[in-house]
Amino acid sequence: MSEEDLKSELERLRAENESLKKRSVRGTSIRVSEKGAVSVYGLGRFPVTLYQEQWVKLLDMGDEIRAFIRDNQGTLKAKT
């Protein structure tokens, strides 16, 4: 491959990479997993998957979790 071909291929790959990055920013979605659990996609690299009883327990703790975050704001990091 010539240097010009390599530069052309590099630019093509960079453009493809940017396109894939933009496409992955599509928000969150909820699905039923193969094992019958609830999976939430779009919060991070991997889905968050819990069984329905675990989701209900977690959602019932919503106020407690918010208070914990508020009380520990100085030591917690935020993903940007």
Tell me: the pLDDT tens digits for 47-78?
A: 999 999 999 999 999 999 999 999 999 999 99
pLDDT of residue 57: 98
3-state secondary structure labels for all residues of the chain? CCHHHHHHHHHHHHHHHHHHHHHCCCCCEEEECCCCCEEEECCCCCCEEECHHHHHHHHHCHHHHHHHHHHCCCCCCCCC
Q: Give the three-state DSSP class for 29.
A: strand
- Look at residue 37 and tell me whether its pLDDT is greater than 70: yes
Q: Average pLDDT, whole number, for the chain?
A: 91
pLDDT of residue 11: 92
pTM (two decimals): 0.63
- Look at residue 22 and tell me whether its pLDDT is greater than 80: no
